[in-house]
Amino acid sequence: MNTEDFRPEKEIKVFYPPQRVLMGPGPSDTHPRVLNAMARPTLGHLDPVFTEMMEEIKGLMRYAFQTKNRMTFPVSGPGSVGMEMCFVNMIEPGDKVIVCSNGVFGGRMIENVERHGGVAVAVMDKWGEPVDPQKVEDALKKNPDTKIIAFVHAETSTGASSDAKTLCELAHKYDCMTIVDTVTSLGGTPIKVDEWGIDAIYSGSQKCLSCPPGLSPVSFSDRVTELVKNRKTKVHSWFMDISLLLNYWGSAARTYHHTAPTNALYALHESLLMLAEEGLEHSWARHRNNYEALKDGFAALGMSYVVAEQYRLPQLNSVFVPAGVDEKEVRRRLLAEYSLEIGAGLGDFAGKVWRFGLMGTSSRIDKVIFCLNALETILSDMGLEVERGAAAAAAHKSYAANPML
Amino acid sequence: MNTEDFRPEKEIKVFYPPQRVLMGPGPSDTHPRVLNAMARPTLGHLDPVFTEMMEEIKGLMRYAFQTKNRMTFPVSGPGSVGMEMCFVNMIEPGDKVIVCSNGVFGGRMIENVERHGGVAVAVMDKWGEPVDPQKVEDALKKNPDTKIIAFVHAETSTGASSDAKTLCELAHKYDCMTIVDTVTSLGGTPIKVDEWGIDAIYSGSQKCLSCPPGLSPVSFSDRVTELVKNRKTKVHSWFMDISLLLNYWGSAARTYHHTAPTNALYALHESLLMLAEEGLEHSWARHRNNYEALKDGFAALGMSYVVAEQYRLPQLNSVFVPAGVDEKEVRRRLLAEYSLEIGAGLGDFAGKVWRFGLMGTSSRIDKVIFCLNALETILSDMGLEVERGAAAAAAHKSYAANPML
C-alpha cells in the first residue's frame, strides 16, 4: 500500500476557533494571560527551570486548596483521572465506601469504587438537592465497617452545593476517610482542606481556575500516604499509583515517571498565580456577586432555579426552561448569533434545564449582562412575554451594590 | 485559620521559560505554529466547531499511523496513559501476555500486565539490542495459550528499533493480538498499522510530532473492539474504558465522557497537519538524513553508538560517554551555556550514555551542527583531544548529499 492512500479525503486547513463566550458548565473562558503562557517555549520535564516552576505550582495549589499537604500536585489528565486516582489508590478489594450520589458525578464515583474492587454503599439524594448528612449518618451506623466517604462538593450536573464541612465531621466521627470532588468549586466557593480535614480532594483546571481543560489538581493528606504505603495489594494502575508519581512530583531526585505536560502546566501556573493575585476571598465574593446579578436578571425573565437558594452554587446556575420553549433551538441560536455557549441539562434534566456557568474569567458582570440580553431577545422572538431590558436592569442594580470585576 | 496563612512564602512571578534547543529523548522543540495554535481561544468540548476539528484529528492520525481503523483518537493523557489504556482494556484476569523487554518501557509493560490481572511472560533482550524474534517464537511455542504479544517499536531508553513487521507476523502465525509502543517512532520512522496488522498501538505527542507533551495518539483494530465488547469482566478503570470513550470520540451523539483538553488538541491538530503537509515519507527521510549527519559528526569526535547500526533509531541516538568525562557536567554546561538539552542514560546506562534526540522540529541540520559544535567545545575544554571543526565539517558533508529542512 502507498502511504498516500491513507490521507484524509477532505482538505484540512489550519484550525482557527471562533471566539466564544463560555457560560456553560465548563470549560470557562481562558484569560489571555493564560493562553499566552501556554504558547511559551516547551521545556524538558527534567529541566531545573521547569522543576522549579513545578514547586511554585504546588505552593499556589496549596493556597487554592487551603492546605499544607505535602502531596499536592496537578495530575496529567482531566478531572476524571483525578477522581480515579483517589479511588484506585485508596481502595483495596472489599473495602466499603459510602458514596453520596445526587447527580452525574456521584454516579461516576460508584463506578469507580466497583471497578477498583470496592463495595459501594450508595446514599441517594434527588438531583438538584444537596447530600443529606442525616442519610449519611444513617448509612454509617448501618455500615460500621465503612472505610471511606466520597461525595461531590459542587455537583456540576445540577448546581447543588453540599456541606463539605459537616460531611467531613461525620467522617471523622465514624473514623472514615474522605474523597471530595471539587471540580467545580475550586476557586469559586470556599474549600478548606486542612480546616475541614479532607483526606483526598481533586478538581479540574477548566472551571473556576479558567485554565484550559486537561489537568486535575489533587491533594492528599498524610493519612492517605500512610494508607497507600501500607496497602496489601498493588494499586491497580501503573500511571495512577501515587507512590510512583511522588518520586517525580514529590522528591528532589525527580525520578522520571511520565513526561509532564509542560505547556499545560505553564497555563495552570499562570491561572493559579492570577487567583493568588486576586486573592481567594475576593474570588469567592466575585463569584457570589455575579451570581446575585444573574439571579435577579433571571427573576425578571420569569425563570426559576432548580436548586433551593441556600444550596445554590454561584458558579453553576441550573434553571428550568420556560414552558413551551424549544430549549435546543435557544442554545443553537445563542451559539450561532451570539457565539455564546450555555449548557444543556444532563440525565433526567435533559431537555428541561439549562446550566449557566459563571466560572473564573467567565464570572464578570459584562458577560452576565450580555447573556441576559441575548437570552431575552431570543425568548422574546420565540413569543415569550418578557419586559425588554428588565433583566439587564435588574442585574445592573444588584451589581451596583458591590461592583467587582 | 485565615486564608492568607496558606500563601506561598516565596514571591511567585509570571513564568517565562528560556528558549531551549531540545535534543534529548523528548519533548522535542515545539514549532511556533503549534505553540500559536495552543493559544487560540478555548472552545467547549461539545461545540460543533470543536467536534468537527476532532474528526479532522482522527483523519490526520489515521494517515500518520497508516490505518483505516475507526477507533483512532488521542487519549487525554501522556503516552503512559495510552499504554495503560491498551492493557487495561485488552487483558482479563489470568490472560497470558508475552512482553518483550529490552529497555525501560518493556519493563513498564510488564507492570501494566500484572497490575491488570494478566500473566506476563517476559522475553528479555539486552538494553541496546532489538527484540529477538526467535526468542519470541520460542516463548510462543512454550506458551500456546498466549493471548497478546506486547513490544516497544522504538525504545526511547536505548535508541534501539525492533522489527515490528516480523513480530506482528509471528503474532498472527500464533493467533495472538499485538500491543505496540510507538511513542518515539510515530512520524520519525515507518509505521504501517494496517499493512503490518497491528491491533493496538499508542504513541506520544511530544516526540516526532513535536507537539507539547500531554496527549497519546492511539489506534485499535476492529478485533480489539470485538474483544472489549465480549469481555466477561468490566474494564478495571472508568476513565480508560474504551467502550465508554467511544461514545464521545466515536459517535455522532458525542455523549459527554470527560472534558477534552481543547487547547492541547488544537496543538495536536496543527502538528499532525504539518506532518501531512510535509508528507510522511519526507519526514522519515528527513529524520534519516539528519541522523546520518549527526552520526558522521560523532565519528569525527571519536564517539561511538550503543546500538548496532542496522537497529538504530535515527531519532534517538544513544552514544557512550567518552572515558574520563564527567557526563553530568557536560549536560550541565550544554544547558547553561548553550541552552541545549540532551538526555542522560537510564537504568544501567545511567552515567555511561547520552541520548541525543533528533525528533520532529528538532530534526534539522542547523541543530545538528549547533549540537556538535557545542559538544566539541566542551569536550575540548575538558581535555579531550578533538580536531576542532571536524565534527561539523563531517555533518555538513553528509548532509550536502540530501539537503532537507
Alpha helix (H) residue ranges in B91-174: 104-115, 133-142, 164-173
ipTM of the complex: 0.97
| Confidence (pLDDT) at A360 | 97
Distance CA B340, CA B318 (A): 16
What pLDDT score does B391 carry? 98
Per-residue pLDDT for A254 more than 90? no
Q: Residue A30 has which C-alpha cell?
A: 481562558
Mean pLDDT, residues A3-15: 96
Q: What does the pLDDT read at residue B405?
A: 67
| Burial class (CB within 10 angstroms; exposed 0-12, middle 13-18, buried 19+) of A240 | buried
Which residue is it, cell 555538513?
B396
Share of chain A above pLDDT 90, in %: 93
What amino acid occupies position B330?
Answer: V
Least confident of A235-239, B228-232, B249-253: B249-253
- Domain ranges in chain A? 32-276, 279-400
Tell me the C-alpha distance between A68 and A59, whole Å.
9
**With contact defined as beta carbons under 8 Å apart, do A272 and A278 qualify?**
no
Q: Chain B window 295-334: which residues touch A at a Cβ cutoff of 8 Å?
A: none
Asked whether the predicted pLDDT for residue A117 surpasses 80, the reply is yes
Grid cell for residue B198: 497491528
What is the DSSP secondary structure assignment for residue B189, as one 8-state letter? S
d(CA B118, CA B111): 10
Do residue A214 and residue B212 have CB atoms under 8 angstroms apart? no
> Is A42–B60 a contact, with Cβ atoms under 8 angstroms apart?
no
What confidence score (pLDDT) does residue A75 get? 97
**Residue A254 sits at the chain B interface (C-beta within 8 Å):** no
Q: C-alpha grid cell for residue A185?
A: 468549586
Q: Do B27 and A259 touch (CB under 8 A)?
A: yes
- The helix (run of H) or strand (run of E) holding residue B377 is helix B365-381
Residue A348, pLDDT above cutoff 90: no
A217 at B interface, C-beta within 8 A: no
Amino acid at B46: L
Chain B's closest residue to A192, CA to CA, is B3
CATH 3.40.640.10 fits B32-276, yes or no: yes
User: Regarding beta strands B177-181 and B146-152, do their DSSP bridges make them parallel or antiparallel, or are they unpaired?
Assistant: parallel
Per cent of chain B over pLDDT 70 is 100
Average pLDDT over residues B289-302: 98
* Residue from A85, A42, A275 nearest B264 by CA: A42
Nearest CA in chain B to A19: B41
Tell me the pLDDT tens digit for each residue of B213-224: 999 999 999 999
Looking at chain B, the number of H-run helices and the number of E-run strands are 14, 14
Tell me the H-state helices in A181-279. Answer: 193-196, 222-229, 242-249, 262-278
As a whole number of angstroms, the distance between CA B295 and CA A208 comes to 50
A277 in reach of chain B (CB within 8 A): no
Which of B46, B113, B259 is the mutation pick for testing A, counting most A CBs within 10 A?
Answer: B259
**Structure confidence by residue, pLDDT tens digits, B11-24:** 999 999 999 999 99
Q: Which residues contact B145 (CB under 8 A, 6 or more apart)?
A: B96
Q: Is residue B348 scored above 90 in pLDDT? A: no
Name the strand (E) or helix (H) holding B338.
Answer: helix B327-338
The span from the CA of A290 to the CA of A313, in Å, is 12
- Superfamily of chain region A279-400: Aspartate Aminotransferase, domain 1 (3.90.1150.10)
Three-state SS for B41? coil
Q: Which residue has the cell 479540574?
A: A204
The model's confidence at residue A247, banded by pLDDT at 50, 70 and 90, is confident
Q: Cα B52 to the chain's mean position, in Å? A: 27
Chain A contact set for B27 (CB, 8 A): 42-45, 259, 262
Q: For residue A80, which residues of chain B lie inside 8 Å, CB to CB?
A: 238-239, 257-258
Task: For chain A, say whether B279 makes contact (Cβ under 8 Å).
Answer: yes
From 3.90.1150.10, 3.40.630.30, 3.50.50.60, 3.40.50.1100, which CATH number describes the B280-400 domain? 3.90.1150.10
